[in-house]
Amino acid sequence: MSEDEIRTKIRAFVTMRFPAVRNDKLTDDDSLLDSGAIDSLGVLDLATFITEELGVELGDDDLTPENFDNISALTRFLTGRT
């Protein structure tokens, strides 16, 4: 999957699952975690989406605020792994 495809898929999932992201008009670089748009259960859902829909196995060190903070970070972290 190309970087653009990954970004599009992540953005689609995030805006569908977490409607607050759309309201706050969050850009790809705005923090999903600090804004409160995604809580601990949201992180879990996002991880499930990455594994099941994008087919990326998450390693022990992948579940970090750095990787999950915003759409750009998620895209960077997943590019090359799908």
Q: Is residue 21 within 8 Å of 14, Cβ to Cβ?
A: yes
Indicate whether 12 belongs to the interface with other proteins (CB under 8 A): no
Residues 6+ apart with CB under 8 A from 14: 21, 32, 38, 46, 71
Indicate whether 52 belongs to the interface with other proteins (CB under 8 A): no
Q: For other proteins, how many residues bind (rule: CB under 8 A)? A: 23
CB closer to other proteins out of 1 and 58? 58
Indicate whether 41 belongs to the interface with other proteins (CB under 8 A): yes
Indicate whether 8 belongs to the interface with other proteins (CB under 8 A): no
Identify each DSSP E strand in the chain by its residue range: none
